[in-house]
Structures are given as C-alpha cells and as structure tokens.
Structure 1
Amino acid sequence: MKLLVAVLLVAGLAGIAAWGGEAVAGDADMATCVFEKLTGQDRKFCRGDLEVFYPELGDVGCTYIPECNQYRKRISQEWSSPKMTYPQADKNKKYVLIMVDPDAPSRANPKYRFWRHWVVTDIDGRDLRAGNLKGHVLTAYSRPTPPSRSGYHRYQFRLYEQPAHEAISLTSEEEASLGSWPMERFIEQFRLGSPVASTQFLTQHQ
C-alpha cells in the first residue's frame, strides 16, 4: 500500500484512517476507520505493484473495504472506475486489464464465476505507468454489487502483457452475459499467459 493514512470527514469531523487496527493519530472524539489487510491465500493473490485507487480510500489493493463512512455502499453505488497504475509497465508494450468477481453468487457457491466487471485491452505502458488508463474497452466498468447475505466477495484485478499484433475481442455470447464468463479460455485463446501483476479487495453487501 502506498497510502497508509487517509484523512476522512465524518459529520464535519476529521477522522483518521488506520491500517491493521492501530490508530496512528487523532483524539477520542474523532472517528477512526480501520483498514484490514488480507491474509493467507487472499494475500498471496496480490503480486506486483498494481495499484487500485478509489476516492477517499486510496490504494485498496489487498484490503477489506471498511464499513465506516458507508464505503461499502459508496464503492457499489457511487464511485466510477478506479484509477489504475502499474509503475513497472514497459513503455514499449501494451497490456490487458481484467476485473472479475470469482465469488458469484457467493464464495461458497461460485456457480457464476467469473463475473466480468471490466475488460480493457491495448493499454499503452506509458499511460499505465502514469495512471491514465486508455485503451479499447471490451466490457465497461461495472461497480462491485455483492448480493445481500452472500458474504464477502473478492474483486480481482489481473494485468497481462498483450501479445504484439494480437486483436482481442469477446464473442457475441460473452458480450450478452457478464456472468459465468470462461475467463481461462479467454486467456488461453489470446495467449495472455500469467498475469504480470494482480491484486484484489474484498467487500460485501451494505
């Protein structure tokens, strides 16, 4: 995480965001918002320096979205696509970004995995390093909307190097439905290989 402390406004008071449950500043009258980092296998998914920035939250990679300040509701209903940066991007290469929910409709019963939330191809490495995500949008950004009582959902961001001169597209069947997307087949078909970087955050219905 690049951003370790975020200043929050709650009912006109400046709240202090803390990581890992340890408050770093503030007094007893200020609201504290704790950002928990992912652990175990969820933590292992996060590799490379892919950064995902939402308003007020900063880089949400490898964290639970906190409940305070209605952040879970706002990420699902208000905020548009996050700012993405990958400082290690090669300026002479192009990249493919995929955002999916592997836990649809729930982590216990993911029969609609991978739910497709965002697919962008032909992203120039220079733009990616600068956080200016231009490219060819195959699937427009769809906000995380985990169903009620379905528990936590992982929202995964996978970044791939795009093979030179490779034209990437979705089939008409894929375009017609976001759910049950055969992501692995898509990756194999267009020879994307393994992600050069990946990260995720967890949130639930609020």
Structure 2
Amino acid sequence: MKLLAALLAASLLSTTAYGAQASWQHKPAQSCLLQPLSGADSKFCRGDLEVIYPELGEVGCKHIPQCQQYQRRISRDWGSPRVQYPRAEKDKKYLLVLVDPDAPSRANPRNRFWRHWLVSDISGADLRTGDIKGQVLTAYSRPSPPPGTGYHRYQLLLYQQPAHEAIALSPAEQGRRGAWPMESFVERFQLGSPVASTQFLTKHYED
C-alpha cells in the first residue's frame, strides 16, 4: 500500500509539473516581458481597448519585444489580432481603424496615415467578446516597418457609428493605403472623437 501511495503521489506531481510547463509555453518568458509605453506615447491609450495576439497576449500600450522572434512573427506570421472592448453598448455599431502614423518613419512621416485595417458595422455585442465581424473596408495588413526606420506606432481607434450611417471609402481612398487623410474621413462621416484608442510600438525585426 505504501508503494502504491508513493507511485500515485509521483504521478500526480509529474502531471502537475507538465500542466504548469504547458501553460507556461503560452506566455512570454520572464526575460521577454512586454515593456509599457511611457510619456506622450502612453497618453494615446485610453478607454480599455484590448488588442490580443497569439502568445504575446494583450499588447495595448506596449513595446513588441524582439526576443522569441515576436517582432518577426507579428510582421510575418500572425493574422489580425483579437480586439475587445468591454464597454461597448450591445445595440450600437462601431468602426475600427488600425493605422501607422509613422510611414515611412517617425522622423519623416510623409505617408501618414498608412491604413492597415478598417472595419465598419461591428456590433457592440461582438466587441465585448473580441469577435470582430462587420464590413471589411480594408483587409488587415500586418505591421511591417521598413528596415532602418526605427520604431513605428500602430494605432487602433474605435469609433461609434452614427445611426443608419453607411460608411465607405472613396474610389481614391480604395486605390491606396498610404497618405490616407484619416481626419477628413472621420469628419465626412461625423464619427467624432474615438470612444477608445490604444497603440503598440514595433520595428523591423532585423534592426
């Protein structure tokens, strides 16, 4: 009986250790933690908008680390993030924007805003769960800062759509993503100020 009890205890310890190891593999290593933004960059983040990528988890108001090839993977491997807004009103519609204001570089942003993702008619109920459905006006394009241009800000802005307002890009806007006049777009459809916004910073993975 003592031998059986010892074997059961060893088996339980082994299972517990494996479970802890398996769970740990889905989290960034302690030496590879995401650093929070500071100063003016951190002030852009407001309203509890959550942006979640595989393995990294919530990246809002953070630097994407180079370790574990995370900068490469966000630019080359991963698709669109899960975006969640717990404060969304279930019976409202929302519009989500992802732009790079630092194209081609933060020092010379002549192509701001570079439009990476634009989705309208997202229901508040879906936003609460992070299941982004709606009218895709611009398909998701991965953050891909050019080599040697330093860190780029990738900004997500969430707007509440006016009731019964049909949102669409003009033919000229559809023809190019760079140098998008986002302020004119927001004014044209009377979107007002974003209800929430956040951003993360990353650079070319070989820099």
TM-score band by shorter chain is 0.7 to 0.9
Partner of 1:33: 32
Q: Which has the larger radius of gyration?
A: 2
Q: TM-score, normalised by structure 1?
A: 0.86
Partner of 1:175: 174
Structure 2 distance, partners of 1:15, 1:79, is 16
Aligned 1:122-201 pairs, distance under 5 A: 122-201=121-200
- Are residues 126 and 44 of structure 1, via their aligned partners in 2, closer, same or farther at CA, if it must alter by over 3 Å? same
Partner of 2:64: 65
Structure 2 distance, partners of 1:42, 1:52, is 16
Is the CA contact (8 Å cut-off) linking 2:28 and 2:56 kept in structure 1? no
1:52 Cα deviation from its structure 2 partner: 0.3
1:35 Cα deviation from its structure 2 partner: 1.3
1:92 Cα deviation from its structure 2 partner: 1.0
Residue 111 in structure 1 maps to residue 110 in structure 2: yes
Structure 1 distance, partners of 2:28, 2:73, is 17
1:15 Cα deviation from its structure 2 partner: 6.3
Q: TM-score, normalised by structure 2?
A: 0.86
AA of the residue aligned to 1:49: D
AA of the residue aligned to 1:147: P
Structure 2 distance, partners of 1:121, 1:177, is 18
Structure 1 distance, partners of 2:97, 2:131, is 16
Q: Secondary structure at 2:126's aligned position in 1?
A: helix
Aligned 1:87-98 pairs, distance under 5 A: 87-98=86-97
Higher strand proportion, which one?
A: 1
Q: Which runs of 4+ in 1 moved over 2 A?
A: 6-9, 14-17
